[in-house]
């Protein structure tokens, strides 16, 4: 299947929606590497009670004062940024504790009354050689899991290594490269999972609002659409890759690329039937089908009982949560909400 990176045309009146999640962090890390700018990566290592973020969450603060990610609803960020600036000044990793669990915090502290505690390591990312930065970029580029082992004890706080695929990226407490493995005092291991990867089979009026949501959620989205008129629904929406060789090339794509979910939304009965047949032979765990239940039943009968039986346990049709509303935007919201729940369950499994 022929694939090309999809870029907005200069004449497109719609601005590409911003990225969110860890993809936004990876995008900023690439920009910092190109410009030779240092930064600080906040990594949540421990939580207790009710907290906004959980272990493994990332927050990036660069030397320009830009912050990507959040620790709370906004009540703790000013203190976090102050501590990150101190790490930028010293170039040495630091520990940060935030506790909103007591009565004293409600009166004299943040005032949130959230009832939780969060511990972060603030890790320096040097401007020139930063193994941790390189590891996170590598993981995002290839859709791989990054496993972090970090020292949380006082001897070498913040030193550690990141494993991405077969590669190991070792760094000292100042973020500089280490030639060999370091002795990690009170090590903790964290897993940074790759972003969700979604395949859209066909485009239509709901494509643009759906892509706005998926980019804000930080998902990787590819579109298989060979019909030029329908592909225009994705123009300027920030699709990551466009596959335009038609449905017969779909089996090769499904073997070559890992997708967490696929949405069948060609607005064409016969194209949908062919896509469902190909997806039945794939290992994708979530398959969504746009359209009413009667159409779904006709399509399952069309592809045959055996093929339908292998697909049915994974099939969500009609796709999306029953939120109500009309029009493309409501459909996009219902689909994104259902997918978010699905991806969250997979991450917890």
Which secondary structure element, helix H or strand E, spans residue 49, and what is its range? strand 39-49
Distance from the Cα of residue 39 to its chain's centroid: 21
Q: CA dist 331 to 207, 216, 271, 307, 335, Å?
A: 10, 17, 20, 27, 6
Q: Report yes or no on 186 lying in a domain.
A: yes
209: domain CATH number? Answer: 3.40.50.720
Residue 125 has φ and ψ, to the nearest 5°, of -115, 100
**Token output for 293:** 């239940």
Place of tokens 């990551």: 240
Q: Report yes or no on 301 lying in a domain.
A: yes
Q: Report yes or no on 15 lying in a domain.
A: no
| Residue-level pLDDT at 106 | 42
Looking at 129, 157, 192, the residue that finishes a domain is 192
Q: Report yes or no on 27 lying in a domain.
A: no
Looking at 157, 192, 227, the residue that finishes a domain is 192
Q: Report yes or no on 22 lying in a domain.
A: no
Q: Report yes or no on 29 lying in a domain.
A: no
Residues 181 and 213 in one domain: no
User: Helices (DSSP H) in the chain: which residue ranges?
Assistant: 21-35, 77-90, 103-108, 131-142, 207-216, 228-231, 250-256, 269-280, 293-303, 305-311, 328-348
State the residue range of the domain holding 149: 36-192
Residues 166 and 218 in one domain: no
| Residue-level pLDDT at 102 | 52
| Residue-level pLDDT at 6 | 56
Place of tokens 């930065």: 133
| Residue-level pLDDT at 75 | 83
The answer for residues whose C-beta is within 8 angstroms of residue 154's C-beta and 6 or more apart is 185
What is the spatial distance between Cα 111 and Cα 114, in angstroms, rounded to a whole number? 9
Q: How many domains does the structure of the chain reveal? A: 2
Residues 323 and 217 in one domain: yes
Residues 167 and 201 in one domain: no
**Helix-strand-coil percent breakdown of the chain, rounded to 5?**
35, 25, 40
pTM exceeds 0.75 for this model = yes
The answer for residues whose C-beta is within 8 angstroms of residue 340's C-beta and 6 or more apart is 217
Give the CA-trace dihedral at 255, 257, 259, 263, to 10 degrees.
Answer: -80
Q: Report yes or no on 97 lying in a domain.
A: yes
Residue 203 has φ and ψ, to the nearest 5°, of -130, 160
Q: How many CA atoms lie within 13 A of 63 on its CB side?
A: 16
Residues 90 and 164 in one domain: yes
Looking at 152, 171, 192, the residue that finishes a domain is 192
| Residue-level pLDDT at 196 | 96
| Residue-level pLDDT at 1 | 54
Residues 40 and 187 in one domain: yes
Q: Of the candidates 103, 92, 96, which has an alpha carbon nearest to the alpha carbon of residue 72? A: 96
**Token output for 183:** 């002795």
Residues 92 and 218 in one domain: no
Cβ pair 347, 340 in contact under 8 A: no
Residues 124 and 50 in one domain: yes
Residues 153 and 281 in one domain: no
Q: How far apart are the first and last CA of the chain?
A: 32
Residues 210 and 330 in one domain: yes
From the first residue on, what is the mean pLDDT of each consecutive set of 10 residues in the chain (349 residues)?
52 68 95 95 93 92 88 86 94 93 48 74 96 97 95 93 96 94 89 96 96 95 96 91 91 94 97 97 96 97 97 97 95 97 81
Residues 216 and 320 in one domain: yes
Q: Report yes or no on 30 lying in a domain.
A: no
Residues 62 and 182 in one domain: yes
């Amino acid at each position: 299947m022929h694939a090309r990176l999809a870029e907005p045309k200069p004449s497109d009146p719609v601005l590409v929606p911003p990225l969110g999640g860890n993809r936004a962090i990876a995008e900023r890390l690439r920009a910092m590497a190109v410009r030779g700018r240092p930064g600080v990566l906040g990594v949540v290592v421990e939580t207790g009670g009710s907290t906004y973020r959980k272990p493994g969450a990332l927050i990036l603060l660069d030397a320009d004062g830009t912050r990507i990610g959040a620790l709370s609803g906004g009540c703790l960020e000013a203190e976090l940024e102050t501590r990150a600036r101190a790490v930028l000044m010293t170039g040495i990793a630091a520990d940060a504790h935030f506790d909103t669990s007591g009565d004293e915090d409600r009166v004299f502290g943040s005032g949130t009354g959230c009832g939780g505690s969060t511990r972060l390591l603030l890790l320096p990312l040097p401007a020139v050689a930063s193994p941790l930065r390189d590891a996170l970029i590598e993981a995002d580029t290839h859709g791989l899991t990054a496993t972090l082992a970090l020292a949380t004890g006082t001897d070498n706080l913040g030193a550690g290594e990141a494993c991405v695929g077969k590669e190991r990226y070792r760094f000292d407490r100042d973020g500089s490269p280490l030639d060999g493995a370091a002795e990690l005092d009170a090590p903790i291991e964290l897993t940074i999972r790759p972003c969700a990867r979604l395949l859209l089979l066909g485009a239509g009026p709901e494509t643009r609002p759906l892509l706005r949501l998926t980019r804000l959620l930080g998902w990787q989205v590819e579109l298989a659409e060979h019909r030029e008129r329908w592909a225009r629904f994705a123009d300027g929406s920030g699709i990551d890759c466009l596959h335009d060789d038609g449905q017969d090339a779909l089996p090769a794509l499904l073997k070559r690329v890992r997708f967490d979910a696929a949405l069948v939304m060609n607005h064409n009965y016969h194209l949908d039937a062919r896509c469902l047949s190909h997806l039945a032979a794939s290992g994708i765990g979530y398959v969504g089908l746009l359209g009413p239940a009667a159409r779904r039943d006709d399509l399952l009968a069309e592809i045959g009982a055996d093929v339908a039986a292998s697909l049915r346990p994974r099939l969500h049709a009609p796709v999306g949560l029953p939120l109500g509303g009309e029009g493309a935007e409501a459909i996009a919201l219902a689909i994104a909400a259902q997918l978010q729940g699905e991806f969250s369950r997979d991450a917890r499994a």
